[in-house]
Amino acid sequence: MKKLFSNIKGDAFGGITAGIVALPLALAFGVSSGLGPEAGLYGAIFISFFAAFFGGTATQISGPTAPMTAVSMVIIAGIVAANDGSVEKALPAILTVFLLAGLIQIGLGFLGLGKYIRYIPYPVVSGFMTAIGVIILLTQILPSIGYYPKEDAEFVAQFKPQAEEVILENILKEEAGEGILVLENFKETIDRAQQITPEQILNESQTLAAKEASGTVGAIKVLPRALKHINWLELMLALGTIIIIYGFKRITTAIPSTLVALVVVSGIAYGFNLGYRPISEIPGGIPIPRLEMFTNFSLGSITPYIFTALTLSLLGAIDSLLTSVVADNMTKTKHKPNKELVGQGIGNSIAAVFGGIPGAGATIRTVVNINAGGKTKLSGMIAGIMLLLIMLALSDVASKIPAAVLAGILITVGIGVMDYRGLKAIPSLPRDIKFGPVRLSSEVLIMLVVLLLSTFWDLIYAVGIGLVIASLMFMKKIGDLTAERSDVKSLKEEAWDDEGNFPSALKEEVFIKHLKGPLFFGSTSDFQALTEQIPDTAKTVILRLGRMQYMDQSGLYAMEDMLQDLKKKDVRVLFVGLLKQPRYMMERIGIIPEFIPNEHIFKDFKMCLQWIKSHVKDVH
């Protein structure tokens, strides 16, 4: 407890700043999910507070994120469609999925599975993150131009025959459930059909129209029609928001540009009474638990959603622990992955009970918190309290925010969440697999498969398929390498035979590290700890790479990050015994010669030792 209040001033400033940054995103993610802005706020409030209090990353700020919202949006749309298009009717099942996801995260933490998250290959993460950006962009095109399919009377009218069929089918299903023999009581069926009102047909038609335009495929389908019905005011509000977000960053980053855009554009729209479309009303007062999910609880009712909840929980775990790594790098601390999963699970579980959408560790908000002075869990808790106070005091004001402004904010989020590092590397990566006459890069193939399947089919299955493909390709490569070098045995971390005559006077100035085996997505975590092993006295590092037969894209970027860190510390790195495949990978993205010039690459240790004796002096 004493440690919690050891940095009150910095944590208060960091938490308040992170809370302000989170506000527009929470509102936007809530609207995007389909549950309304209050769902985003509730998620941000409860996840931020409880994930910080129970979690294992001191400076992490949690809340709804783009990946979690994108998956939640798909889950919500599916459950709503199965409940006659009624969000209120579907809400208990939706919140049950969110609650299950949180409970599974707690279980993953207690089982100690947090450390295994690092085995997710980089191309899978890259394809998934880029897909999230594409999904957000495509789904926000319609609201950014002010087109809502349910309000397009001509478009809705197309679904009237189908709506009548659906209503009649529902009547027949009700009769079957009531035990009525339809053929013998056909008159009763006709009587019920005659009681169908135009309002019922219109509501069902609107539901079908919204379903037709939902998701990325639906957005693409109705886009040509939407472009003929542009609401120019809504488009100007969305474009104004985007321009301010990117433009204000060039002036200063001290004030969040997203918040500036929200306030300025909303203020202009409201102040000049422009007749814009506001977001749905945000309820004021203390959030109330949504206990509907418990009233009709049964194991059979949640069984269909267990797999969905599991995948949502795994995504939240990956999202959070990746942010934890970012926080570690900035603060030079070490997070506790399993404790972090427990904290995230508790936060998501409580948020679900109050009707909030699920979330995870948020990288941008975490970075803002650290830069503003946050150092302990108190900062994340303050961020949650800050959002609660804003909601209690300003819910009426927030309800007047234009929907187009939130669409503009989400478009910038979609652009920002894409993995440009992975996309830029596509032309450079080696084409190591052959499909008939065509040669492709296995890393690029995995990324594109995950990207396309996530965007146009299913986010959850796409990641699973990507993992399977990555695992199969990795096993083949390692099998091939093992067959070629089957006489290589595992060695302990100790000096090799040719290092026996290394000058003892230079052992403080020179640090020797032996790499044995492939540097791939499963070993990057241990490799990243290399810089911590180097003593402060060492200004030259020798990497013995003669037994590192293979390097994948994850290992490549881990090597690049390590070399960048050492370069900042003015530590010189020498390569000894670099093999063909790792060298080819490093040359393709410029590690050689940008970080390691050719004169610092030696065929064997004898040549390296001669260079050391000529260029390194004993200064101790």
Band (22; pLDDT cuts 50, 70, 90): confident
Q: For residues 431 and 266, which has the higher predicted lDDT (pLDDT)?
A: 266
Tokens linked to 505: 């006077």
pLDDT of residue 515: 85
pLDDT of residue 2: 54
Residues 6 or more apart whose CB falls under 8 angstroms from that of 580 comprise none
Cα 468 to chain centroid, rounded: 20
Lowest mean pLDDT among 116-125, 480-489, 608-617: 480-489
Contact between 387 and 26 (Cβ < 8 Å):
yes
Query: Mapped to the 3 state alphabet, what secondary structure does 445-464 carry?
Result: HHHHHHHHHHHHCCHHHHHH
Q: d(Cα 171, Cα 193) in Å, to the nearest integer? A: 8
Band (236; pLDDT cuts 50, 70, 90): very high
Mean pLDDT of 430-456: 84
pLDDT tens-digit profile of 237-251? 999 999 999 999 888
pLDDT of residue 452: 93
pLDDT of residue 486: 40
Band (487; pLDDT cuts 50, 70, 90): very low
Query: Mapped to the 3 state alphabet, what secondary structure does 157-172 carry?
Result: HCCHHHHHHHHHHHHH
Q: d(Cα 97, Cα 80) in Å, to the nearest integer? A: 13
Q: For residues 213 and 253, which has the higher predicted lDDT (pLDDT)?
A: 213
Strands 360-361 and 62-63, bridge-based pairing: antiparallel
Helices (H), ranges, 213-336:
215-227, 232-251, 257-271, 292-295, 299-302, 306-331
Q: d(Cα 73, Cα 215) in Å, to the nearest integer? A: 9
Residue with tokens 């996801």: 101
Residue (of 558, 607, 567, 547) closest to 585 by Cα position: 558
Residue (of 135, 131, 230, 121) closest to 469 by Cα position: 121
Distance set, CA 208 to CA 74, 75, 163, 212, 452 (Å): 16, 17, 7, 6, 26
Lowest mean pLDDT among 145-159, 204-218, 283-297, 604-618: 283-297
pLDDT score of 373 more than 70:
yes
Give strand pairing partners of 512: 542
Q: d(Cα 133, Cα 149) in Å, to the nearest integer? A: 23
Torsion sign (Cα): 105, 108, 112, 116: negative
Rounded to a whole number, what is the largest CA-CA distance in the chain?
A: 103
Q: d(Cα 198, Cα 192) in Å, to the nearest integer? A: 14
Rounded to two decimals, the pTM is: 0.78
Residue (of 486, 513, 494) closest to 576 by Cα position: 513
Rounded percentage of the chain residues whose pLDDT exceeds 90? 31
Query: Mean of the per-residue pLDDT values for the chain?
Result: 85
pLDDT score of 332 more than 90:
no
Choose the most confident range, by mean pLDDT, from 21-35, 337-351, 399-413.
Answer: 337-351
The half-sphere exposure of 180 on its side-chain side, counting CA atoms within 13 A, is 14
For residue 244, the tally of other CB atoms under 10 A from its CB is 21
pLDDT score of 436 more than 60:
yes
pLDDT score of 21 more than 60:
yes
Element (H, E) at 618: none
Rounded CA Rg of the chain: 28
Eight-state DSSP code of residue 179: T
Residue (of 507, 491, 539) closest to 609 by Cα position: 507
Contact between 117 and 329 (Cβ < 8 Å):
no
Cα 228 to chain centroid, rounded: 34
Contact between 349 and 42 (Cβ < 8 Å):
no
pLDDT score of 184 more than 60:
no
Q: Which fold has domain 510-615?
A: Transcription Regulator spoIIAA (3.30.750)
pLDDT tens-digit profile of 495-509? 777 787 788 888 888
pLDDT of residue 492: 44
Q: d(Cα 396, Cα 400) in Å, to the nearest integer? A: 7
Contact between 265 and 402 (Cβ < 8 Å):
yes
Residue (of 17, 25, 67) closest to 43 by Cα position: 25
pLDDT score of 575 more than 90:
yes
Lowest mean pLDDT among 59-63, 177-181, 441-445: 177-181
Tokens linked to 560: 């690049």
Helices (H), ranges, 36-146:
37-54, 66-81, 87-110, 122-144
pLDDT tens-digit profile of 516-558? 878 877 677 777 777 777 888 888 999 999 888 888 888 898 8
For residue 471, the tally of other CB atoms under 10 A from its CB is 12
Q: d(Cα 557, Cα 591) in Å, to the nearest integer? A: 10
Eight-state DSSP code of residue 551: B
Residue with tokens 């469609």: 81
Domain with CATH 3.30.750.24 in the chain: 510-615
pLDDT score of 1 more than 60:
no
Vertex 95: Cα angle to 89 and 96 (nearest 5): 105
pLDDT score of 581 more than 50:
yes
Contact between 466 and 450 (Cβ < 8 Å):
yes
pLDDT of residue 489: 38
Mean pLDDT of 409-431: 85
Rounded percentage of the chain residues whose pLDDT exceeds 70? 91
Residue with tokens 């190591």: 432
Helix (H/G/I), strand (E/B), else coil: 438? strand
Element (H, E) at 176: helix 160-177
pLDDT score of 234 more than 50:
yes
Band (185; pLDDT cuts 50, 70, 90): low
Q: d(Cα 324, Cα 333) in Å, to the nearest integer? A: 10
Mean pLDDT of 18-27: 87
Vertex 255: Cα angle to 254 and 260 (nearest 5): 155
Torsion sign (Cα): 470, 476, 480, 483: positive
Contact between 143 and 385 (Cβ < 8 Å):
no
Q: d(Cα 201, Cα 163) in Å, to the nearest integer? A: 6
Band (490; pLDDT cuts 50, 70, 90): very low
Mean pLDDT of 224-246: 94
pLDDT of residue 377: 92
Tokens linked to 566: 């050492």
pLDDT score of 301 more than 70:
no
Q: For residues 325 and 235, which has the higher predicted lDDT (pLDDT)?
A: 235
Residue type, 356: G
Residue type, 214: S
Band (110; pLDDT cuts 50, 70, 90): very high
Measured between its terminal Cα atoms, the distance across the chain in Å is: 43
Cα 267 to chain centroid, rounded: 31
Mean pLDDT of 164-186: 67
Q: d(Cα 544, Cα 610) in Å, to the nearest integer? A: 15
Q: For residues 352 and 16, which has the higher predicted lDDT (pLDDT)?
A: 352
Tokens linked to 590: 């410029």
Choose the most confident range, by mean pLDDT, from 58-67, 313-322, 424-433, 496-505.
Answer: 58-67
pLDDT tens-digit profile of 390-411? 888 888 888 888 999 989 988 9
Residue 593: cis peptide before it, omega within 30 degrees of 0: yes
